[in-house]
Structure 1
Amino acid sequence: MFSIKNMAAAGVAIAALVTSAVSHSATELRVGTWLPPTDNQNAIVWPTWAKWVEEATEGRVKVKLEYGLGHPKTMFQLVEDGVIDASFSYHGYVPGRFKLPQIVEQPGLGVGAEAASVALWRVYDKYFRVANEFEGLEVLGMFTHGQGTIQSNFRITSLADLEGKKIRVGGGIQTELSEKMKVTPVAAPATKAYEMLQQGVIDGIFMPMAQQKSLRLSEVTKYITIFPEGMYMGSFSMFINPDFLDSLSERDRQAIMSVSGEKLSRMAGAAWEEGDGEGFIAAKADKVEINEVGAAQLLSRQFNTLITGMDKLWIDSVADRKVDAEAALAELRNIARNYHRAK
């Protein structure tokens, strides 16, 4: 006789089979990452987006993080070639290709990473998408790191203290600043900073506060110099292989894009801003001397003189992109400086 108990057991078995089949049939979206697991990009941003994607696609697409794929500049090519399905990287690592998003890197924006990331996404979507700098890639989001600082093993009270010092720079606006500051620039990915500082290969780095914790730089730096309105910001994009998207149903393509764009950009910027706060705490705990330069100090006055006209240089540099760069810069600054986090 087929009892209620047997029916229940059969139902559980069938449910397990269905769950197994759904899980087995889910498409895996492989995201390549080059930062350590402790960085908020990997601890918060990608896991949160993965949850959004899985929920939006009702479990049909699942995200998997993959580490150790090489220099961050290769992420663009790895995604284009389909070696991985999606990733993120810093535009300055590929000089000349992604000039437009570096609009947000100009010194003196004076906001945190969340506001800057939202502003960058909106300006990219309105002004820059048509320039097709990301040919071969589909952009998921744009974000910035927090305000850049100088993290060093020597005290800085004047720009003259920087002359001739070996400073790690990441490209983009940092390269221009290093030239103006007369430092000896050393190009290297962020992940090499700890080793280079520890071994004395460099005297300091240009980097945001978050890396005091995420890359443990508080262990190998003695001084941090922070400019009042921001030394620079760094621009990143998050992108996916268009062929991978085309392999999905229209329903799932739309679902993935619905949890990307401004929503993803805002979250990535907010996570970095949170990381900056954690980095500040780590620096204090390790007794790193932090110099938050006052607006009236000599160093601040020197810096403001040094950066005069840099925004015009950026506008001229993107003339071949055929976009209204001046209007885009004005709008980006307006959005960023008037941004209020939604409650």
Structure 2
Amino acid sequence: MATTNQSHERGYYSSPGKAISDATGGRINVEIVYGLGHPKSMWNLVEDGIVDASYSYHGYAPGRFELPQVVEQPGLGANAEAASYALWTTYEKFFSDSHEFDGLKLLALFTHGPGQIHSNFPVTSVDELKDKKIRIGGGVQSVIAEKLHVTAVVIPAPKVYEMMQQGVIDGAFLPTVEQKVLRLSEVTKYLTIFPDGLYMGSFSMFMNPDTFSSFSQADQDIINKMSGEKLSVMAGMAWDASDASGIDAATNSGVKVTMLSDNSDLVAQFNERLKGVSDVWVKEADENGYKGKEILTYLRDTAHQYAAKHGE
């Protein structure tokens, strides 16, 4: 089974792939293929059977995957593991009839770690961002960029290094792992870390249904057992672990790392400016026949309960 990894995160899903191979006695082997196109094309590649499975970021496909962005809203206050669990649980409970993933077999829903600010300028006040050219990935980041009065530049994460190096952009909204994986520690001077981050980023992992149906019932059962909540949580855990390595890479490279506290004036400024961001998603959910505020509250409560149970 060929699966793409269009991202910079090489080997990110090698462990689940090996687990599937081991569990099926080698009947299903996962081959990771890189560089097959823009991340926004991954769903089409899988639907068309060009590759068997892939994953991507929902913000790269505006208008198609709006409901999973419930987890992206500011104020969640949870790590990627808890957020991923909450996203899968919430989607199954409220959105299983949405048809967003028609034509695909949904394997997992997960988030990266909290989004932070990587910049070539110090972020000493919310007004520092006004008119700065900031990379965003779409999704809720588009609303945040508008609230912060930045000039949004929508590009895939792997393009950030080059554009920072050339001075095309002044900074980027990304999780801290990118200081290491994208080598942003070489082209940024400042990393500003908010205690809860500014947002989360939502992803899905998916498979071609015909590929799935071509497996024996026993192998289908194995894939089902290893995906869903289990795979979602596993992906979130991997992001959390990698975020710590990004902070280390930044520190070791001389990047000025500012870890803000909950009661800092800067956090208060950003919280005030970002009030109402989630209202955009709630309104869209309401217009599509869902109780947006109720669902957002359920997701946040689910994430906090998971975190409390697992000592996070």
TM-score, shorter chain, exceeding 0.5:
yes
Q: Could you tell me whether the CA contact under 8 Å between 2:75 and 2:196 is conserved in 1?
A: yes
**TM-aligned CA deviation for residue 269 of structure 1:** 0.4
Unaligned runs of 5+ in 2: none
Question: What is the aligned counterpart of 1:141 among 108, 123, 141?
Answer: 108
| Bigger-Rg structure (1/2) | 1
Q: Report matched runs for 1:245-260 at 5 Å.
A: 245-260=212-227
* Cα deviation code 1:114-163 (max 9, x no counterpart): 11111111111111121111111111001101010010000011111111
* 1:329 is aligned to 2:296: yes
Q: Could you tell me whether the CA contact under 8 Å between 1:210 and 1:279 is conserved in 2?
A: yes
User: What TM-score does the superposition give when structure 2 sets the normalisation length?
Assistant: 0.96
Letter in 1 for 2:61: V
Output the aligned Cα RMSD: 1.5
Runs of 4+ deviating beyond 4 Å: none
Q: Could you tell me whether the CA contact under 8 Å between 2:118 and 2:173 is conserved in 1?
A: yes
Task: Between 68-77 and 222-231, report the one with greater CA deviation.
Answer: 222-231
- Measured in 2, the distance between the counterparts of 1:85 and 1:321 equals 31
Q: Report matched runs for 1:1-343 at 5 Å.
A: 29-36=1-8, 39=9, 42-43=10-11, 45-339=12-306, 340-341=309-310
**TM-aligned CA deviation for residue 306 of structure 1:** 1.4
- Measured in 2, the distance between the counterparts of 1:328 and 1:297 equals 30
DSSP-derived class of the 1:318 partner:
helix
* Cα deviation code 1:35-66 (max 9, x no counterpart): 23xx3xx33x4211112211332221111000
Letter in 1 for 2:60: Y
**TM-aligned CA deviation for residue 239 of structure 1:** 0.4
Q: Could you tell me whether the CA contact under 8 Å between 1:56 and 1:256 is conserved in 2?
A: no
- Measured in 1, the distance between the counterparts of 2:300 and 2:22 equals 34
Q: Could you tell me whether the CA contact under 8 Å between 2:180 and 2:249 is conserved in 1?
A: yes
User: What TM-score does the superposition give when structure 1 sets the normalisation length?
Assistant: 0.87
Q: Could you tell me whether the CA contact under 8 Å between 2:40 and 2:56 is conserved in 1?
A: yes
* Cα deviation code 1:251-310 (max 9, x no counterpart): 211211111111111110000000000001001101111122233333212211112122
**TM-aligned CA deviation for residue 327 of structure 1:** 2.6
Q: Which residue of 2 aligns with 1:17?
A: none
Q: Could you tell me whether the CA contact under 8 Å between 2:144 and 2:277 is conserved in 1?
A: no
* Cα deviation code 1:195-246 (max 9, x no counterpart): 1101111000000001111111111100011222321000000000111111
Q: Could you tell me whether the CA contact under 8 Å between 1:50 and 1:62 is conserved in 2?
A: yes
Counting matched residue pairs gives 310
- Measured in 2, the distance between the counterparts of 1:324 and 1:54 equals 41
- Measured in 2, the distance between the counterparts of 1:288 and 1:309 equals 32
DSSP-derived class of the 1:254 partner:
helix
DSSP-derived class of the 1:225 partner:
strand
* Cα deviation code 1:89-126 (max 9, x no counterpart): 00000111101100010111111111111111111111
- Measured in 2, the distance between the counterparts of 1:130 and 1:250 equals 25
DSSP-derived class of the 1:295 partner:
coil
Letter in 2 for 1:266: V
